[in-house]
Amino acid sequence: MLYMTLIICFALSVFITPFIKKFAFLIGATDRPNQRKVHQTVMPRLGGLAIYISFMIGMLLVHPVNQFSLAILVGSFIILITGILDDLFELSAKYKLIGQLAAACIVVFWGNLQVDFINLPFGGQLQFGFLSIPFTIIWIVGITNSINLIDGLDGLAAGVSSIALITISGMAIIQGNFYVMAVGLIVLTSTIGFLIYNFHPASIFMGDTGALFLGYIISVLSLLGYKNVTFISFVIPVIILAVPISDTFFAILRRVIHKKPLGAPDKQHLHHCMLRMGYSHRQTVLLIYAMSAFFGLIAVIYSQARIGGAIFLIAVVIIMIEIIAEKIGLVGRNYRPILNILQTLRTNTVKNR
């Protein structure tokens, strides 16, 4: 039944998207070009509605159930409405945050999805106590926004989300977690159907309707697989989502260093930096896909590693992300602490020969 449902979700998304495109133009849900945006023509938004409708049909057909399912669906509807309103009226950051917090609180308080503790690698537990609620809410809102922030090129957010969903669903299969696997695959096939129209050159954008929904679902699914587990296991969703998380982290760091408001938009995100390096629109998207797939593979390897190997992989991933960020100027041209150290070491090595 699941296989047939996945085919239906994909086909439905492919079929619905052109109608959503016409509907978006009809109601004025369009994205106009400006100095900060890459596209040059007026584009229809609201494409995420096709993903959501296909997702809901899939959920009705398969009906995967656990104790969190109703709260997750209600939260997804709240986040959908928030995205639709933003695509129509371009809500301020404050009102979007209110919608995201409402969706997160539904899952945390009604669904009782909370990360209560983490088992530490060398024994003992890290109990979150009263911090478990804010920690879980921050995770959901943070990942939701990180997916939204990378939605700057044709097919970028949809593709990166699809790769994350493949990894999450694959690891759910390994763990025997049917609910996470089923929901992940339903969202995946619905997104891939939309991606046919969204890949460069796109004929429709997913808008905040899609980006917020995908970010919300991915954040919740990544928690469901690793609630109250070892520290090593909890790092897995962080690695899976390394691209959007690191892009968001460096965006915050960039604004702090340059003393700009955290909500201030700019053209310094990962995809902007790669475009300035001379990569084409399509090449940039495909390279970021490759990065996401690489981190997904690392997450799978990491999940099977022993403690020593897992800690080594964490160190490698962190250093790799930092070097890439410095190399492409993700924080700023003068922000190169690791590269400067490597340059100094290389210079000293040459002098000593």
68 and 111 Cβ atoms separated by less than 8 Å: yes
| Tokens found for residue 56 | 């809901």
Average pLDDT, the chain: 90
Could you tell me the residue ranges of all domains in the chain?
2-351
**Average pLDDT for residues 75-91, to the nearest whole number?**
96
Quick one: pLDDT at residue 266?
80
Ranking 54-63, 205-214, 267-276 by mean pLDDT, the lowest is 267-276
Q: Which residue has the higher pLDDT, 310 or 318?
A: 318
Q: Is 9 helix (H, G, I), strand (E, B) or coil?
A: helix
Model pLDDT for residues 187-210, shown as the tens digit of each residue: 999 999 999 999 999 999 999 999
Average pLDDT over residues 129-136: 90
Q: Tell me the whole-structure pTM to 2 decimals.
A: 0.92
Is the pLDDT reported for residue 147 higher than 90? yes
**Least confident piece of the model among 7-11, 17-21, 34-38, 76-80:** 34-38
pLDDT for the residue numbered 33: 78
Task: Report whether 148 belongs to an annotated binding site.
Answer: yes
Do 75 and 220 touch, CB atoms closer than 8 A? yes
Task: For residue 311, count other CB atoms closer than 10 A to its CB.
Answer: 16
Question: What was the pLDDT predicted at 105?
Answer: 97
**Residue 34 marked in a binding site:** no
What is the spatial distance between Cα 86 and Cα 90, in angstroms, rounded to a whole number? 4
Mean pLDDT of 263-270: 82
> Hey, what amino acid is at 164?
A
Please say if the pLDDT value at position 269 is more than 80: yes
Q: What is the pLDDT of residue 80?
A: 98
Q: Can you tell me the mean pLDDT for 174-187?
A: 93
Residue 272 has pLDDT above 80, yes or no: yes
Report the distance separating Cα 231 and Cα 233, nearest Å: 5
pLDDT score of 180: 93
H/E element, 304 = helix 281-304
pLDDT in tens, 110-131: 999 988 877 665 556 678 888 8
- Please, which residues bridge with residue 117 across strands? 127
Most confident of 152-166, 263-277, 328-342: 152-166
Q: What is the arithmetic mean of pLDDT over 346-353? A: 72
pLDDT of 350 above 80 = no
- Least confident segment among 120-129, 175-184, 211-220: 120-129
* DSSP assigned state of 153: S
C-beta separation of 299 from 283 below 8 A: no
Q: What is the distance between the alpha carbons of residues 138 and 254, in angstroms, rounded to a whole number? A: 20
| Nearest partner of 241 among 288, 201, 207, judged by Cα | 288
Q: What is the distance between the alpha carbons of residues 229 and 306, in angstroms, rounded to a whole number?
A: 15
The pLDDT value recorded for residue 12 is: 98
Candidate from 73-82, 110-119, 217-226, 241-250 with smallest mean pLDDT: 110-119
Report the percent of the chain where pLDDT is more than 90.
61
pLDDT of res. 227: 61
Q: Is the pLDDT of residue 39 over 70?
A: no
Higher-confidence residue of 308 and 193: namely 193
Q: Binning pLDDT at 50, 70 and 90, where does residue 294 land? A: very high
Q: pLDDT tens across 2-19, in order?
A: 999 999 999 999 999 999
CA atoms of 78 and 98, how far apart (whole Å): 10
Token pair 């089923």 is found at: 182
